[in-house]
Chains A and B, each alone.
Chain A
């Protein structure tokens, strides 16, 4: 294949998967799909498939981890061995540990942790299939799982990445775009409170480009926020319609 054809964005500004620069991947969200966990949610964002579950608030084990003034949020981001092209060791890697921490810190501001001192909230994010932007999709789905568990929250957290590919700023990068592109900026955001809870950058951007990228991500977050709210409602509206028939 000639090299010139391997471009991520064609001359009309259409990306390799047919999206425009400011378009999200096809996203499907479901809430409350696991019966054993206190709260759960599932997201499909393009080829990403992520399941999230929440337990708690409950007693902390081991007990010395309990905080006297607030609840402890514990978060595990984990990729299934079959989630990527080459089998991934199921043991938590450095990257997963870092992402667990990053996701925890992105979600903590949204939860009223101080309402339940000496307890813990355990959050699990399982990546069943990964195709770029899993930390963002993970935050989006985890926030819904927390809401489904009935944990009091200030707002839903929603996250979306934007970046620069072949000189153009684009929203919601796939794995390929991320690897071949110049920069990637994941942002987590609480739309009602207009607060950013996570901001990372990988690659190089000028200051002007950086600002544009953030604004692009925020637009993506707002779109996702609507999908999140919709998903929360659907769970109850479906029952209601069934009854009213």
Chain B
């Protein structure tokens, strides 16, 4: 929806006879001759190596199907989960993960012809036992992390929570008490709604400090 001249088409853009158009609503970025658009709203497209949070929607003979909020369901194979060799007669898959369970996993392989495959064979991956999940627009994840992780470390420090961002737009927050968790949720909501504005880290810090003093007063 934006027109340009003699440039190279970057992300979320396409070129037609010397003119460049945007394919999504977003903010334009120029890098020498390369023009790309940072979308303000988009759905998650799987990419190999991404950490995602998924919900089990189905238990099949060979594994589990997970909803990772992308156009395609993700497959987690039983042989990737069970240490010893997997035998369908012996192992009951629903006793490991059941429908509705939330799982942190990494994307092992994906291309457009085949559904994404997941793995949990890495530290910190696996079933989520406690904490809360917050939905975010996937395009806001870089914003959530901030420059060199400044935003996310700031929130972690201020709220004493552990935060894990799934690239697919789900964040897991684990705190010592409910108040801390609520504070972190508030911060994330603020980033979400104001993601396209500048000076956000400072404003979020301010808000968190204000909320904390309010709490300690009462």
A residues with a Cβ closer than 8 A to B are 38-39, 56-59, 71, 112, 115-119, 147-156, 192-193, 229, 232, 236, 239-240, 243-244
A192–B3 touching, CB < 8 Å: yes
B72–A150 touching, CB < 8 Å: no
Q: What B residues does A118 contact at CB under 8 A? A: 72
Interchain CB contact (< 8 A) of A243 among B16, B25, B71, B194: B194
A236–B24 touching, CB < 8 Å: no
| Cα of A150 to Cα of B16 in the assembled complex, Å | 21
A154–B21 touching, CB < 8 Å: yes
| Cα of A154 to Cα of B39 in the assembled complex, Å | 14
Q: What A residues does B39 contact at CB under 8 A? A: 150
Q: Which chain B residues (8-48) contact chain A, with CB distance < 8 Å?
A: 12, 14, 16, 21, 23-25, 39-43
Jot down 29 A-B pairs with beta carbons below 8 A, ordered by A.
A56-B71, A59-B71, A116-B71, A117-B112, A118-B72, A119-B71, A119-B72, A147-B1, A147-B25, A148-B25, A149-B41, A150-B24, A150-B39, A150-B41, A151-B24, A152-B12, A153-B23, A154-B23, A156-B1, A192-B1, A192-B3, A193-B16, A232-B1, A236-B40, A239-B194, A239-B196, A240-B194, A240-B196, A243-B197
Interchain CB contact (< 8 A) of A152 among B3, B24, B40, B197: B24
Question: Which interface class (under 10, 10 to 19, 20 to 34, 35 or more) fits B?
Answer: 20 to 34
B71–A57 touching, CB < 8 Å: yes
| Cα of A57 to Cα of B46 in the assembled complex, Å | 13
CB distance from A70 to the nearest CB of B (A): 10
B71–A58 touching, CB < 8 Å: yes
CB distance from B159 to the nearest CB of A (A): 21
| Cα of A115 to Cα of B23 in the assembled complex, Å | 12
- Which single residue of chain A is at the shortest CB-CB distance from B73? A59
- Which single residue of chain A is at the shortest CB-CB distance from B2? A192
Whether B89 is near chain A, meaning CB under 8 Å from some CB there, is no
Whether B113 is near chain A, meaning CB under 8 Å from some CB there, is yes
Q: What B residues does A115 contact at CB under 8 A? A: 112
- Which single residue of chain B is at the shortest CB-CB distance from A31? B25
| Cα of A228 to Cα of B26 in the assembled complex, Å | 15
Whether B193 is near chain A, meaning CB under 8 Å from some CB there, is yes
Whether B121 is near chain A, meaning CB under 8 Å from some CB there, is no
